[in-house]
Structure 1
Amino acid sequence: MTQFTAQKILFDLDGTLVDTAPDLHAATNHTLQTIDRPPVPIDAVRHMTGFGAVKLIETALETTGGIEGYDFAKLRDVFLEYYSENICVHSALYPYCLDMLKQLGGAGFQLAVCTNKPIGLAVPLLEKLEIYSLFGAVTGGDSYSFKKPDPRHIQKTAELLPGHGPALMVGDASPDILGAQAASIPVIAVDYGYADQPIEALKPNHIIGSLADLPALLRLPTA
């Protein structure tokens, strides 16, 4: 069995640990309603959920008649106000997520979240799902002046964890995989997330279909 030596395990959030698409979809349709556009089905926006509010809105507008003439900054504010108030209505941890995090933490791995979600949304979501305390660090897309796939986002997040051991990234889409590759650290991809292209094409080091499979792939560095 392939195993990866790592002390610090960095996780993406949306599409990796948490299925956030239902609440992001609801916020998208709320935004459309304010401009008298019809709602879109969740499959129209699911694969855009990792690319931010503006991309979600843009995709929804294109689906319902076009994007010309709209103030995206204003629509983004409408979206974020609704989403922040309804951030964990239908969002849920993926199967085995909690058990996996507790198993890795108990085994001595250092855990962090490295997400492009704004930190002001990421932390409340983790708190509502009661997993925030399991992480030694959490960084968002606005924690620095750069974000994934910029490798510095991953590198800076790893540096927030204690020790100098090797790091590994776990994610579902191109920002995670390309960022980890640019940072020269291994990346394990999940195949159930929000990737906008076949995950195999991005050539992660390994692909898993369940978070239950992750612990067996990891080992701590020897002294």
Structure 2
Amino acid sequence: MTRAVIFDLDGTLIDSAPDIHAAANKVMARHGLAPFTQQEARGFVGHGAGIFIERCLAARNAGDRPGLQAQALSDFLEIYETAFDHTVTYSGVTEALENLIEQGLVLGLCTNKPESPARAVLRHLDLARFFPVIIGGDSLSQRKPDPAPLHAAISASGARDAVFVGDSEVDAETSHRAGIPFALFTEGYRKIPVEELTHRVAFSDFAHLPDITRTILG
């Protein structure tokens, strides 16, 4: 019986906030807009690049400037494609992924990051080898928290049973709507307390994830 663990990417496997912040500020500078602090930029993350840029422009009262949304998004994606100078994996991620593979689990990715930058950063961090299944924010017409991307990732994995691992409100809602058990990584980009998010189990150390998946998947 095939079982799968599907992961979110930003804030779950990798801490990419510094590079997202830097890319956003480069775009802001190109269009004569004030930069953001890293905390501000981090607060805009979670719903994909389009919503991220929309929130950036709205925060600078520039959202209604004709043509700016499309141009700023194009600029951001151009920069973001190779923006991983400051992106790192969270501690213990590689070891946990290796352990899950040894358990015979299929690993997949379900992220709102566009698929091309997602694949690029996975290659850069030597994580691509773990993920035969990758569903990005532009892989389907729907994005998380719509459950369709998570269902697509599970289907592509060939799994009958799966657990979803993520860090945010978006991930918790996606998992809940998909009817899939959710393991919440507490050290990512969530904006509300852990107890306010629907989850099967919460963890702060990836060393615990293999045991968590055994418990959930049996």
Counterpart of 1:204, as a letter, is H
Matched, 1:156 2:152: yes
Q: Is the 8 A contact 1:45 1:59 kept in 2?
A: no
In the superposition, relative to structure 1, how do residues 29 and 146 fare at CA in structure 2: closer, same or farther (>3 Å)? same
Map 1:7-26; keep pairs closer than 5 Å: 7-26=3-22
Counterpart of 1:182, as a letter, is R
Alignment match, 2:188: 193
Matched, 1:78 2:75: yes
Q: Secondary structure at the match of 1:219?
A: helix
Map 1:136-215; keep pairs closer than 5 Å: 136-162=132-158, 164-215=159-210
Write the deviation string for residues 120-169 of structure 1: whole angstroms up to 9, x where unpaired. Answer: 1111111111110112211111112212111121111111113x431110
TM-score by length of 2: 0.90
| Deviation of the 1:199 alpha carbon | 3.4
Alignment match, 1:52: 48
In the superposition, relative to structure 1, how do residues 126 and 58 fare at CA in structure 2: closer, same or farther (>3 Å)? same
In the superposition, relative to structure 1, how do residues 144 and 13 fare at CA in structure 2: closer, same or farther (>3 Å)? same
Alignment match, 2:65: 69
Q: Is the 8 A contact 1:170 1:190 kept in 2?
A: yes
| Deviation of the 1:112 alpha carbon | 0.6
Alignment match, 2:95: 99
Q: Secondary structure at the match of 2:44?
A: helix
- CA distance in 2: counterparts of 1:68 and 1:184, whole angstroms: 38
**Structure 1 unaligned residues grouped into runs of 5+:** 1-5
| Deviation of the 1:13 alpha carbon | 0.4
Matched, 1:129 2:125: yes
Write the deviation string for residues 172-198 of structure 1: whole angstroms up to 9, x where unpaired. Answer: 112211111111110011111112333
Q: Is the 8 A contact 1:48 1:196 kept in 2?
A: no
How many residue pairs were aligned? Answer: 215
Q: Which runs of 4+ in 1 moved over 4 A?
A: 62-66
Q: Secondary structure at the match of 2:157?
A: coil
- CA distance in 1: counterparts of 2:51 and 2:22, whole angstroms: 15
Q: Is the 8 A contact 2:23 2:83 kept in 1?
A: no
| % identical equivalent positions | 32
- CA distance in 1: counterparts of 2:49 and 2:143, whole angstroms: 15
Counterpart of 1:10, as a letter, is I
**Structure 2 unaligned residues grouped into runs of 5+:** none
- CA distance in 1: counterparts of 2:146 and 2:64, whole angstroms: 30
- CA distance in 2: counterparts of 1:64 and 1:145, whole angstroms: 28
| Deviation of the 1:63 alpha carbon | 4.2
Q: Secondary structure at the match of 2:164?
A: strand
Q: Secondary structure at the match of 2:107?
A: strand
Alignment match, 1:31: 27
